[in-house]
């Protein structure tokens, strides 16, 4: 009887410790920016649950308590650094996430350099009108080396010996979504020029300033850079290249004290998909560049319906940028920032599923999710094609 009561008391003590530490962790999660903490808590909860199910009740509570303590220690190292005297450069500040990020960082007290495609455009004018005098708008088309060098000179003249605390490579384009066979080589090259080579060239130009401050390099990639998605061959390939570049730079720059993070957002409503006029132009570009044989196999009706994929993406996207903004803030200010962030509904689960699931299962699930925009090339509808495949 005494043994039973001693075991019960021990289990009760473990349960109490788990509850107290778990509650403390949840409080810390609520006070921290970014989504990373929630994922850590979920993983710790899954681990703790597995311990309780697979082991005896006593040892299950012991290991569950240990997981909570380790999680608590993780959050203890996530204290945020002060904002004062820190300068940040953000590319692609005209619209979308980059525009919102410039405003958000300015509100936090950073000295913000907003790189824009058009310094006389409406986005640049709004930044000047609504932000503090600390924000500086820079003409910065990241595909033009002269503009990168000019922006570097202007940043150096302002930050002087302080260096640049953070560079956020945000500028990007998605192009016109189409089957990889239909996308013209000009679109592949354009996506690589902006999403990859532009980010690499900006990074190389400003790294001396980041090394001086032992600051942060944050690259905005995409969930598509880690999850294969139909009709995004050009965009996804360029973002996958940026993701790998960031991982390599994280290893190389660690000896300089520069921390590198990659952000892979899910679907957010931005202007990256372009306008209806741009879609018309890109659609004509496809029709002009594909061979007569390929155009005959797919059919003009199929090509004309491809823009429905853009509408599908927009319908599934969130207008609330706050998950991305909070994760970028954490990457810039946390003492120990994460290497990867995946803000947005379902992005973390999709990235994990794509990494660990069998290929056949993953392809089947993706096709089921995109069945609402199912369109079939003309040749596949012909009876002769079906018979020849048998």
CA angle, residues 120, 123, 129, in degrees to nearest 5: 85
What phi and psi, each to the nearest 5 degrees, are found at residue 218? -125, 120
In residues, how long is the chain?
Answer: 390
- Convert 173-189 to b/e letters by CB count within 10 Å (16 or more is b): bbbbbbbeebbbeebbe
User: Is the Cβ–Cβ distance between 270 and 96 less than 8 Å?
Assistant: yes
Helical spans, DSSP H, in the chain: 2-31, 36-54, 57-76, 96-108, 122-130, 145-159, 185-191, 199-213, 233-253, 276-289, 292-298, 300-305, 307-315, 322-333, 347-356, 359-369, 378-381, 383-388
3-class DSSP assignment, residue 116: strand
Rounded-to-integer distance, Cα 214 and Cα 256, Å: 7
Q: Which of these is catalytic: 235, 298, 309, 341?
A: 235
What phi and psi, each to the nearest 5 degrees, are found at residue 28? -65, -40
Distance of CA 380 to the CA centre of its chain: 36
Q: How far is CA 128 from CA 113, 136, 155, in A?
A: 11, 8, 17
Residues linked to residue 263 through DSSP beta bridges, in sequence order: 220, 341
User: Is the Cβ–Cβ distance between 17 and 72 less than 8 Å?
Assistant: no
Residues linked to residue 220 through DSSP beta bridges, in sequence order: 263
Q: Is 364 a catalytic residue?
A: no
Rounded-to-integer distance, Cα 349 and Cα 77, Å: 25
Rounded-to-integer distance, Cα 341 and Cα 266, Å: 10
Candidates 10, 24, 22; CA nearest to 68 is: 22
User: Is the Cβ–Cβ distance between 115 and 91 less than 8 Å?
Assistant: yes
Distance of CA 29 to the CA centre of its chain: 21
Instruction: Report the catalytic residues.
Output: 235
């Amino acid at each position: 009887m005494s043994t039973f009561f001693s075991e019960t008391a021990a289990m009760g003590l473990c349960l109490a410790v788990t509850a107290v530490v778990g509650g403390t962790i949840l409080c810390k999660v609520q006070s921290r920016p970014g989504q990373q903490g929630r994922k850590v808590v979920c993983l710790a909860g899954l681990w703790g649950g597995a311990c309780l199910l697979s082991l005896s009740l006593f040892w299950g509570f012991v290991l569950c308590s240990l997981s909570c303590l380790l999680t608590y220690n993780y959050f203890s190292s996530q204290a945020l650094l002060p904002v004062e005297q820190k300068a940040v450069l953000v590319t692609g500040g005209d619209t979308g996430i980059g525009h919102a990020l410039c405003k958000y960082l300015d509100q936090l007290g950073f000295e913000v350099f907003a790189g824009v495609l058009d310094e006389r455009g409406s986005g640049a004018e709004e930044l000047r009108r609504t932000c503090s005098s600390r924000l500086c708008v820079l003409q910065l088309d990241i595909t033009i080396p002269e503009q990168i060098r000019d922006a570097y000179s202007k940043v150096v003249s302002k930050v002087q010996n302080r260096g640049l605390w953070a560079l956020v490579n945000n500028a990007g384009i998605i192009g016109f979504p189409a089957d990889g066979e239909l996308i013209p080589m000009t679109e592949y090259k354009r996506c690589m020029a902006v999403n990859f080579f532009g980010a690499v060239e900006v990074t190389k130009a400003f790294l001396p300033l980041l090394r001086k401050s032992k600051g942060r390099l944050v690259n905005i990639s995409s969930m598509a850079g880690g999850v294969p998605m139909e009709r995004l061959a050009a965009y996804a390939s360029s973002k996958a290249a940026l993701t790998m570049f960031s991982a390599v730079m994280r290893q190389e720059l660690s000896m300089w004290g520069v921390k590198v993070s990659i952000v892979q957002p899910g679907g957010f409503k931005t202007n990256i998909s372009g306008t209806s006029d741009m879609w018309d132009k890109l659609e004509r570009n496809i029709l002009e560049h594909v061979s007569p044989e390929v155009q005959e196999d797919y059919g003009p009706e199929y090509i004309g319906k491809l823009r429905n994929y853009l509408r599908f993406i927009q319908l599934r996207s969130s207008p609330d940028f706050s998950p991305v903004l909070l994760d970028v803030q954490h990457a810039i200010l946390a003492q120990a920032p994460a290497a990867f962030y995946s803000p947005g509904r379902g992005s973390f689960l999709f990235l994990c599923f794509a990494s660990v699931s069998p290929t056949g299962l993953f392809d089947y699930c993706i096709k089921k999710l995109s069945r609402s925009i199912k369109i079939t090339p003309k040749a596949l509808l012909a009876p002769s094609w079906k018979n020849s495949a048998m």
